[in-house]
Amino acid sequence: MIRIKYKKRMNEFLLDVDFKMPEKGVTVLFGPSGSGKTSVLNLMAGLNENEENIQQSEFSLNGKIIDDLNNKINIEPWLRNVAYVFQDHRLFPHMTTEENILFGYKRRKSELNPDELVEKFKIKELLNHRPDQLSGGQKQRVAMVRALLSQPELIILDEPLSALDYQSRQELLPYIECIHKELNIPMIYVSHDIKEVLRLADYIVVMDKGNIIDQGDIADLCITQPLLTQEEGASFILKGTVSKIITEDKLVQLDCGENILITAENMQLDQKLRILIHARDVSLCLSQPKDSSILNCIPIIIDELQTDKNGKLRVMAKIGKQTMVSLISHRSAHQLNIEKGKKMFAQFKATAMIK
Mean per-residue pLDDT over the chain, rounded: 88
- Least confident residue range of 2-6, 18-22, 112-116: 112-116
197 neighbors 218 (Cβ within 8 angstroms): yes
- Nearest CA-CA partner of 325 in 290, 291, 282, 289: 282
Strands (E), 210-294: 211-216, 235-246, 251-255, 259-263, 272-278, 283-285
The bridge status of strand 343-348 relative to strand 259-263 is: unpaired
The whole-number pLDDT of residue 14 equals 92
Residue type, 154: L
Return d(Cα 302, Cα 324) in angstroms, integer. 10
Residue 137 has pLDDT above 90, yes or no: no
Q: Tell me what the mean pLDDT of segment 139-160 comes to.
A: 89
Confidence class of residue 233 from pLDDT cuts 50, 70 and 90?
A: low
Torsion sign across C-alpha atoms 267, 116, 183, 39: negative
Does residue 231 surpass a pLDDT of 70? no
pLDDT of residue 247 exceeding 70 = yes
Please determine, for residue 182, whether its predicted confidence score (pLDDT) is greater than 80: no
Cβ neighbours of 5 (radius 10 Å):
18
- Please state, in angstroms and rounded to a whole number, the distance separating the CA atoms of residues 181 and 126: 25
Per-residue model confidence as pLDDT tens digits over 295-322: 999 999 999 998 877 778 999 999 988 9
Give the residues across from 285 on adjacent strands. 345
* Mean pLDDT to the nearest integer, 275-284: 90
How do residues 315-342 score in pLDDT, each as one tens digit? Answer: 999 998 899 999 999 999 999 999 999 9
DSSP 61-116: ETTEEEEETTTTEE--GGGS-EEEE-TT----TTS-HHHHHHHHHHHHT-SS-HHH
How confident is the model over 97-101, as a mean pLDDT?
92
pLDDT digit string (tens) for 186-202? 899 998 787 788 888 88
Task: Quote the pLDDT of residue 217.
Answer: 85
Q: Tell me the pTM.
A: 0.80
DSSP-based three-state secondary structure for 261: strand
pLDDT of residue 226 exceeding 90, the answer is no
Q: How confident is the model at residue 267 (pLDDT cuts 50, 70, 90)?
A: confident
* 195: Cβ contacts below 8 Å, ≥ 6 apart: 354, 355
For range 244-262, the mean pLDDT: 92
- Domains of the chain (ranges; CATH) run 2-229 (3.40.50.300), 235-348 (2.40.50.100)
Q: What is the pLDDT of residues 27-53, one digit of tens each?
A: 999 888 888 999 999 999 998 877 888
Mean pLDDT of 110-131: 88
Of 155, 135, 132, 153, the C-alpha closest to 144 is 155
Residue 223 has what pLDDT?
79
DSSP per residue, 7-73: EEE-SSSEEEEEEEE-SSSEEEEE--TTSSHHHHHHHHHT--SSGGGEEEEEEEETTEEEEETTTTE
Closest to 317 (Cα-Cα) out of 309, 328, 206, 330:
328
Distance (Å, rounded) from C-alpha 41 to C-alpha 289? 51
Give the pLDDT score at 251.
Answer: 92
Q: Report residue 230's pLDDT band, with 50, 70 and 90 as the boundaries.
A: low
Q: How far is CA 261 from CA 36, 244, 275, 342, in A?
A: 39, 9, 11, 24
Residue 26 has pLDDT above 60, yes or no: yes
72: Cβ contacts below 8 Å, ≥ 6 apart: none
